[in-house]
Amino acid sequence: MEENSTKKVILSGIQPSGILTIGHLAGALKNWVALQDSFSCLYMIANMHAITVRQNAADLRRRTLETAALFLAAGVDPEKSVLFIQSQVPEHAQLTWVLNTFAGYGELGKMTQFKDKSAKNAENINCGLFTYPVLMASDILLYQADAVPVGEDQKQHLELTRNLAQRFNYYYSDTFKIPEPYIPKIGSRIMSLQDPTSKMSKSDENQNSLIYLNDSNEEIINKIKRAVTDSNAEVRFDEANKPGVSNLMTLYHLATGISFEDIEKEFAGHGYGDFKLSVGKAVADWIAPLRERYNEIIKDKKRLESILIYGAEEAHKIARKTLDKVYKKVGFVRF
């Protein structure tokens, strides 16, 4: 990322808590790649966020590198964007401690994700889970991000980020940019293949519910063949009444570029068997080149590590400038 670039700064990240799915490709990675020419982009593997839920250490290390390799395979270019692992930039934790003193107990308690995750992890409701949104605010504010791509589930966290930035600026003069939500023009919400009323999630225990980005062609075709549809064998886009069929149409549209109207015409009078087979083959063809690139990248550990080391160094340079300002303003002694 150019130091004196006039481009606006955008930051986004994904937790390495499981193999990325086709939902990540459609909803995030496609947009990330498209943004690289018009924004100064920072993309991180959010492994500090991941440990709010208990992780196996070896698995987390492996998945962190796999996630980075999938970012690269999807088209994130380390010469255009800063790609880094969150925990390798200590300023994330350092700024979080300062911002914790500006975050109210009540406002953190209202966070819907904290309530949801607490319900799912009743045996491990830890303080990190509670202050997770403050770490997210630090991620964004460290890099003076102008914009943050957000889905519905993250709007509340971005609002907290804006509040903390404004609060700090009020007490200590302008320090942080106030980030805006970035709503991508392109991007699709991919639903579970087995429960099309729920978003596809890499944490889903039912492997038939999701398509991983490293699934084989055969696995992709078989999962789509088993996808839940409905009893009315009509290929029509209607998310309210035909969520399963609409989800498969979205996948077919993404894989082929064919409009929903033309998909309906193509499969008029055909049963779901023909439709699912066509969707499966199209999606498999779409994912295959990405999977091949991923397999090459993940085998070349030295190159992958060098990209991530360079990315962490670049992120550190930017983050350090912000942290130095913050430490000076709050009165920490600096030598």
Check 7, 8, 80, 199 and give the catalytic one.
Answer: 199
Distances (CA, A) of 172 to 32, 176, 180: 33, 10, 21
* Dist. CA 87–CA 167, nearest whole Å: 26
Catalytic residue among 30, 177, 202, 276: 202
281 a catalytic residue: no
In degrees, to the nearest 5, what angle opens at C-alpha 308 toward C-alphas 289 and 58?
Answer: 85
User: What letter does residue 289 receive in the DSSP assignment?
Assistant: H
d(CA 159, CA 322): 20
Q: Please identify which residue in the block is written with the tokens 């919400």.
A: 189
What is the rounded distance in angstroms from the CA atom of residue 118 to the CA atom of residue 287? 35
Q: Is 185 annotated in the active site? A: no
Burial bucket for residue 227 (CB in 10 Å: 0-12, 13-18, 19+): buried
Residue 83: what residue type?
A: L
Q: What Cα–Cα distance (Å) separates residue 256 from each residue in 167, 250, 259, 268, 290?
A: 47, 10, 9, 18, 15
Catalytic residue flag (residue 223): no
Q: What is the DSSP string of 11-56?
A: EEEE--SS--BHHHIIIIIHHHHHHTTTSEEEEEE-HHHHTTS---
Helices 127-142 & 155-172 angle (0-180, nearest 10): 70
30, 117, 177, 242: which one is catalytic?
117
d(CA 316, CA 1): 12
| Best CA proximity match to 47, nearest among 35, 31, 60, 37 | 60
CB count within 10 Å of CB 175 equals: 17
Residue 148, phi then psi, degrees to nearest 5: -135, 120
Are the CB atoms for 48 and 93 separated by under 8 Å?
A: yes
Active site residues: 117, 199, 202
